[in-house]
A and B are shown apart, each in its own frame.
Chain A
Amino acid sequence: MTITKLRRQLLAGETTPAAILESLAGQIAARDGQTGAYLTHDLESALAEAAQSDLSLPLGGIPIAIKDNINVLGQPCTCGSKFLQNYVSPYDATVIRKLRAAGAIPYGRMNMDEFAMGSATENSALQVTRNPHDLSRIPGGSSGGSAAAVADLTAIAALGSDTGGSIRQPASHCGVVGLKPSYGRVSRYGLVAFASSLDQIGPITQTVEDAALILQAIAGGDPLDTTCLDAPVPDFLASLHDGVKGLKLGIPKEYFGHGIAPGVRKAVESAIESLAAQGAEIVEISLPHTEHAVATYYVLAPAEASSNLSRFDGIRYGHRASNPSDILDLYQKSREQGFGPEVKRRIILGTYVLSSGYYDAYYSRAQKVRILVQRDFENAFKQVDAILSPVSPSPARKIGTFSDDPLHEYLSDIFTIAANLAGIPGISVPCGTTDDDGGNQLPVGIQILAPRLGEAKLLQIAKAAESSESV
């Protein structure tokens, strides 16, 4: 059931916020033992909130599942890490405050790759999450719990976070909608920081309209996050049904080279054909620094992570090693015991590229190449209204198949990473399925990218792409 439909039922008196929560709890009990999307969910506190629901608000009475790196007062916030296994949030993130102000009820803590580092949710130190379309496969990541629950109908909608594709890629793998807003569109106050120049919070939903509803609630300036822009927030629903007639949509030639699974290519191309049939003009464009974007990301994101994760020192909160010989030993042992391998790998990589003697060669150079990536998009958006591509080169892989090859995993982020480097919004919309692996039909997503702060048009195009898929 979508937010839109539930809201209609709530306003017609056909259901109640409590009944929606009870029904979700039943679905979770029935199916989440297999899927493993939820780390925890506190029905009692959600029901207490539901009793106070103001149904006149835009999201009144709607439960929303929250990725476990966004603080909700009184709830756990593990970030999928042993380090924060016993942490209890002392405050609400701004997005939670805004969701509550819109009448929504935060319900459920969703599994994720540890500190959002990964593309499979396999780096969670706490539990395995499986793709509801094929339980032997990954849900994608890092917001894998959020996407899997929305696909499994154990959540109405969810919040995720996206640093290099962590909303869009799991949405694509799970056959749901995932929106990464522009950098600065949504406050990150209360989001546990991974890479601060890239991180954005956004919705994972069953429909484009639901994504628009949630973005409407969480967007806008915040004095508690200086990177959050005061730019006016348009009415995202007003233009949702305006269609694509007369719009120019770009196909980056660099994105459609080799390396895309045939079934993914076919599904994405048929979605593009459908948008053309609805009146969009399809134009080939070039993003010359596509190949460099991944390398740039894997310098900048670990560099920022190594700095952000220095706060996890075992002193003020989180895991503290027992019986340290001195304070230095306490730091080193707490971090050794509390962090998993991918987090350690990225901390070491980030520390290296920031260290004396290597800073200019790696970090400073990557910051410059980042500008070249941004200019690619600025030039492209002089020609087209939006850009279309696959979200991921292949459908969800089997669990456990790339665990000791991080580089291969990093390279699969090629289509999603550039949007974070450029600060532009991107959305993943289901566009069909593929059985390339000869097994179950697996979902494929088309990615749409728009200019900075262009979410209204992005959602409008996404709505047209979605309709074409369901027809």
Chain B
Amino acid sequence: MSHSNIDVRYVANLARLELSDEEVAIFQPQLEAILGQVQILTALDVSGIDPTAHDSMVFGKMRDDTPHESLSPEAVLKNAPDQAQGQIRVPKVVTDA
């Protein structure tokens, strides 16, 4: 783990977050400090350990694939910011070449 040189604006763009210059100036040193603290993990020997969330629990039990009631289109559309003809409306996705 090399010492972090996080490019805040680049990473924010990966997360589809637009940031102001002021926000970048605030976050940059804060995130560097947090990543600096995380460096203590490099000192540990983790060879032979599988990266898993829960070592000894069994999840992922399959349930029967039976149809059950789900939300109606009307219920879902109630929270949509914009809609037309029973569907969620978004700005044009495909642009002219």
> CB within 8 Å of B: which residues of A?
87-88, 90-91, 183-184, 197, 223, 226-227, 229-230, 289, 291-292, 294-296, 298-299, 306, 310, 313-320, 324, 326-328, 330-333, 335-336, 339, 341, 344-345, 347-352, 355, 361-362, 364-372, 374-375, 378, 404, 406-407, 410-411, 423, 452
Name which residue of chain B comes closest to A453, CB basis. B57
CA distance A143 to B8 in the complex (A): 29
Interface residue from B8, B14, B90 paired with A315 (Cβ < 8 Å): B90
**Quick one: given A91-B71, A299-B38, A371-B50, are A331 and B16 in contact (CB under 8 Å)?**
yes
Considering residues A229, A361, A362, A368, which has the most beta carbons from chain B within 10 angstroms of its beta carbon? A368
B67 located at the interface, meaning its Cβ lies under 8 Å from any Cβ of chain A in the complex:
no
Given contacts A291-B40, A298-B34, A365-B41, contact A332 B16 (CB under 8 A): yes
Cβ B82 vs Cβ A320 within 8 A: yes
Contact present for B59 and A226 (CB under 8 Å)? yes
Q: Is B52 interfacial (CB-CB < 8 Å)?
A: yes
Asked if residues B90 and A327 are in contact (CB atoms below 8 Å), the reply is yes
Return chain B residues, CB-CB under 8 Å to A324.
91
Asked if A295 and B57 sit within 8 Å, CB to CB, the answer is: no
Q: Judge if B84 is at the interface, Cβ distance under 8 Å.
A: no
Whether the Cβ atoms of A292 and B27 lie closer than 8 Å is no
Residue of A nearest to B60 (CB): A226
Do residues B11 and A348 form an inter-chain contact, with CB atoms below 8 A?
Answer: yes
Shortest distance in angstroms between B22's beta carbon and chain A's nearest beta carbon? 11
Closest A residue by C-beta to B49: A368
Instruction: Closest B residue to A230 by CB, please name it.
Output: B61
Q: Which residue of B lies closest to A374 (CB)?
A: B55
Q: Known: A226-B60, A344-B17. Is A326-B92 also a contact (CB below 8 A)?
A: yes
Report B-chain residues with C-beta under 8 Å of the C-beta of A368.
46, 49-51
Which of the residues B37, B41, B57 comes within 8 Å of A184, measured between beta carbons? Answer: B57
**Is B1 an interface residue when CB atoms closer than 8 A count as contact?**
yes
| Cα-based distance from A406 to B95 in the complex (angstroms) | 41
Which residues from chain A contact B31 at a C-beta distance below 8 Å? 345, 348-349, 352
- Do A316 and B15 form a contact, CB below 8 Å, given A226-B59, A348-B31? no
In the assembled complex, which residues on chain A have CB atoms less than 8 Å from the CB atom of B49? 368, 371-372
Cα–Cα distance between A211 and B65 once the two chains are bound (Å): 35
Across-interface contacts of B35 in A (CB, < 8 A)? 349, 352
**Nearest-CB residue, chain A, relative to B61:** A226
User: How many angstroms from the CA of A299 to the CA of B63 in the assembled complex?
Assistant: 32
The distance in angstroms between the C-alpha atoms of A368 and B37, with both chains bound, is 17
Instruction: Say whether B16 contacts A362, CB under 8 Å.
Output: no
Given contacts A88-B78, A348-B27, A351-B11, contact A328 B16 (CB under 8 A): yes
Q: Cβ of B18 and Cβ of A183 under 8 Å apart? A: no
Assess whether A333 is in contact with B18, with CB atoms less than 8 Å apart: yes
Establish whether residues A339 and B54, one from each chain, have CB atoms under 8 Å apart when the complex forms: no
Q: Chain B's nearest CB lies how many Å from the CB of A375? A: 8
The distance from the CB of B45 to the nearest CB of chain A, in whole angstroms, is: 9
Chain B residues lying within 8 Å of A299, measured Cβ to Cβ, are: 38, 41
Residues of A within 8 A of B41 (CB): 292, 295-296, 299, 362, 365-366, 369
* CA gap between A370 and B56 in the complex, in Å: 12
Which residues of chain A are within 8 angstroms of B55 by Cβ–Cβ distance? 371, 374-375
Which one of B17, B33, B90 lies within 8 Å of A348 (CB-CB)?
A: B17
A316 B79 Cβ-Cβ under 8 A? yes
What is the CB-to-nearest-CB distance from A263 to chain B, in angstroms, rounded to a whole number? Answer: 27
How far does the alpha carbon of A335 sit from the alpha carbon of B15 in the complex, in Å? Answer: 9
Known contacts: A320-B82, A326-B91, A369-B44. The answer to whether A298 contacts B17 by CB under 8 A is no
21 A-B residue pairs with Cβ-Cβ distance under 8 Å, sorted by A, are A90-B71, A226-B61, A229-B57, A295-B38, A315-B90, A316-B80, A324-B91, A335-B16, A344-B27, A348-B11, A348-B12, A348-B15, A351-B11, A351-B15, A355-B14, A367-B52, A368-B46, A368-B50, A370-B52, A378-B56, A406-B34
User: B1, B33, B49, B60: which has the most chain A beta carbons within 10 Å?
Assistant: B49
CA–CA, A292 and B2, complex, Å: 18
A291 to chain B, nearest CB (A): 7
Counting CB contacts under 8 A, is B93 at the interface? yes
Give the chain B neighbours of A367 by CB distance below 8 A.
51-53
Task: Using A183-B54, A344-B27 as known contacts, say yes or no to A298 and B16 having CB atoms under 8 A apart.
Answer: no
A423 in contact with B61 given A295-B41, A316-B79, A361-B2 (CB within 8 Å): no
Chain B residues closer than 8 Å to A230, beta-carbon distance: 61
> Which residue of the partner chain, among B12, B59, B88, B93, contacts A316 with CB atoms under 8 Å?
B88
List chain B residues, Cβ under 8 A from A294.
37
Are A320 and B38 CB-contacts (below 8 A) given A90-B76, A341-B23, A371-B52? Answer: no
- Which of B17, B50, B60, B88 is packed against the most chain A CB atoms within 10 Å? B17
8 more A-B contacts (CB under 8 A) besides A344-B23, A374-B55?
A: A90-B78, A315-B90, A347-B17, A367-B51, A371-B52, A372-B46, A407-B37, A411-B37
Contacts of A452 in B (CB 8 A): 57
